[in-house]
A = this chain, B = another copy of it.
Amino acid sequence: MRPIEFYFDFSSSYGYLGSTRIDGIAANYGRQVVWKPILLGAALKVTGLPPLPAVPLKGDYSRRDFARSARYYGVPYKQPSVFPIATQAPARAFYWLDAQDRPKAKRLAAALYEAYFTRDVNISNPADTIAIAASMGVDAAALEAALNDPAVKDKLKSEVEQGIARGVFGSPFVFVDDEPFWGVDRFDQIERWLREGGF
């Protein structure tokens, strides 16, 4: 069976919440998950929509809902002081490591999300992303070079374009056998889809 694809942006609160749950849900049904960080801003450009925090009424509600949803799922959460952020550095770090060691790349993603959404570390800074990776035993100099490697930049660009071509417009965005699910609030539907093979 094909792996489940989990698209997310490192600056997305709901992506963070989803990242803590997707592999566990998939494992219950014997499925693997491929993680694919993207740049949500590029997808939003296609939709013509502004970033959520900037929308009148909806932005205020969302900040309340981020924290409440985190409590609902039992996930630690602290609203970052700079939000949203550009996420090229963490996304490139992820794809570079993913090509070498897939499980370790997921652990790095989890550590980056945890730093941004519970300790207010601004992971848009390459230095912060590198420090977090280094604390996991990643070669800091090699990663620093990778963040400016045209091949790594192209990999991220290509994943963003492929995601948009498949209809990704938000985070998290999950494909189960080509069926698209947007939002951590669709994970209940994902579970049923996996259990019943569609519904």
A61 touches B169 (CB 8 A): yes
Of A46-54, A99-107, A116-124, the stretch lying at the interface with chain B is A46-54
Q: How large is the interface on A (under 10, 10 to 19, 20 to 34, 35 or more residues)?
A: 20 to 34
Please, which residues of chain B bring their CB within 8 A of the CB of A186?
65, 185
Distance of A55 Cα from B188 Cα, bound (Å): 25
B170 touches A58 (CB 8 A): yes
Distance of A3 Cα from B3 Cα, bound (Å): 46
Distance of A167 Cα from B180 Cα, bound (Å): 30
Interface string of A161-199 (1 = CB under 8 A from B): 000100111100000000010110110110010000001
Distance of A170 Cα from B189 Cα, bound (Å): 21
Determine if A155 is an interface residue (Cβ-Cβ < 8 Å): no
Distance of A57 Cα from B60 Cα, bound (Å): 24
Determine if A29 is an interface residue (Cβ-Cβ < 8 Å): no
B180 touches A64 (CB 8 A): yes
B199 touches A71 (CB 8 A): yes
B61 touches A56 (CB 8 A): no
Cβ contact of A50, chosen from B48, B58, B71, B168, cutoff 8 A: B48
Determine if A68 is an interface residue (Cβ-Cβ < 8 Å): yes
B61 touches A57 (CB 8 A): no
B182 touches A185 (CB 8 A): no
B68 touches A189 (CB 8 A): yes
Please, which residues of chain B bring their CB within 8 A of the CB of A55?
47-49, 169
A61 touches B182 (CB 8 A): yes
Please, which residues of chain B bring their CB within 8 A of the CB of A147?
none
Question: Which residues of A are interface residues toward B (Cβ below 8 A)?
Answer: 43, 46-50, 55-58, 60-61, 64-65, 68-69, 71-72, 164, 167-170, 180, 182-183, 185-186, 188-189, 192, 199
7 A-B contacts (beta carbon < 8 Å): A49-B58, A55-B169, A57-B168, A64-B180, A71-B199, A72-B192, A185-B186
